[in-house]
Amino acid sequence: MFSTPTGGSNSSDMGAGNAAKPNNAPAGPQPPNIPSTPVPGAVGSEPSSAPSGHAGRLTANIPKAIPELRQQLDAATAERQRTQAALDALPRPVDRNISRPLVTDANKSIQSLADARNAHEAALREHLMNVLGTNAPPLLAEISPGLDARGRAAAEEGMAFLGRLAGPGRAVPLVRIERMPKGERPEYVNGRIRLPKSADTAEVLHEYGHHLENDPGVLRAANRFWRERFHGTDEVALATEFPGGNFDEGDVGHRNKTGRIQRLFPNRPDRALYIGKRITKQSGTEIVTVGLELLYGNPIHFARTDPEYFNLVVGTLKGEHDHR
């Protein structure tokens, strides 16, 4: 059984957060919870040599629209920070006549940031599919009616995303995606993915990574990567290191020896350490699980920052691993 800390499936690490309503301010529209995207090509994020393999193909010719959309996202992020700072600077008690337009501006900036982020991420995934994708159908899954419309849509999107990257002829046993019992964490158990009823696509992909590791060849590849990157490093008790992070007491992470995985999550050290978690050699890792999240969230940042890891995850999906 594999379980994921609540909120831990998101590959983002730079979210601006929701608009904070000042004390006594008029209620505005409920701001959305906006995940973020790591900055592609950030200083210090790229390896010393050009990426090769799948990573090299993806990063060789990046469409002009992607950096342009990134600039728009940066501008929207700056505006979001400005409107939040204006709210935070209001004297207490708050004068509603003063706060009302500031709350309106803050909520508009949240929506603008969400729109900019969605456009940027859509362009990234379109480029990924244009370079490495196929027209193959979704991977096999039985989706439970216990999920709500959002959860079912996320499951369908996840299976379609994986199927197009895996390509025709990639045989993976059917998985059942169902609603998890109340009060539990997302988990994978014996061919079943258990998720919140309103799960997002990143959560679906994360748990599907455990399903892929049922293949002995995939598990060997993940364990080999774990040994190369994490073996011999100190254990980190995640619940102690990150109190309030929804980790179990037994969750133990490791630091990556190359530093590349830390650069994948520059503002989320808990996520970088979580990738170094391993149950046992026989039962699985978090290598493929978090790798699928990264592949979906920002494939260019992933490919530039850690091409070896990127190639492992894409190769696993395409069946380019030891099948013995």
Q: The tokens of 20 are what?
A: 């904070």
Percent of the chain with pLDDT over 90: 72
- HSE toward the beta carbon, residue 87, CA cutoff 13 A: 25
In this prediction, residue 17 carries a pLDDT of 40
List pLDDT tens digits, range 78-131: 999 999 999 999 999 989 999 999 999 999 999 999 999 999 999 999 999 999
Q: How confident is the model at residue 284 (pLDDT cuts 50, 70, 90)?
A: confident
Residue 3, strand partner residues: 187
Tell me: the pLDDT tens digits for 221-261? 999 999 999 999 999 999 999 998 888 888 899 999 998 99
Q: What does the pLDDT read at residue 36?
A: 42
pLDDT beyond 80 at 278: yes
pLDDT above 80 (res 22): no
Separation of alpha carbons 308 and 288, rounded Å: 13
pLDDT of the residue at 1: 55
* pLDDT tens digits, one per residue of 23-44: 333 333 333 333 344 444 333 3
Tens of pLDDT, residues 86-99: 999 999 998 999 99
What pLDDT, on the 0 to 100 scale, is given for residue 249? Answer: 85
Tokens at 317, concatenated: 């999906």
Burial group, residue 232, by CB count within 10 angstroms (0-12, 13-18, 19+): exposed
Assess whether pLDDT exceeds 80 at residue 59: yes
Closest-CA residue to 225 (of 257, 262, 250) = 257
pLDDT tens, residue by residue, 64-79: 999 999 999 999 999 9
Q: How confident is the model at residue 305 (pLDDT cuts 50, 70, 90)?
A: very high
More confident residue, 13 or 164: 164
Give me the chain's average pLDDT, please: 86
pLDDT of residue 64: 96
Q: Where are the domains of the chain?
A: 53-132, 137-317
What's the pLDDT at 323? 62
CA distance 107 to 71: 21
Question: From residue 40, how far is each of 45, 46, 68, 204, 304 by CA, in Å?
Answer: 8, 9, 12, 24, 8
Considering only residues 134 and 267, tell me which one the structure prediction assigns the higher pLDDT. Answer: 134
Please check the confidence at residue 9 and state whether its pLDDT lies above 60: no
pLDDT at 295: 98
Length of the chain: 324
For 314, residues 6+ apart whose C-beta sits below 8 A from its C-beta are 54, 55, 132, 165, 295
What's the whole-model pTM score? 0.83
What pLDDT is attached to residue 4? 64
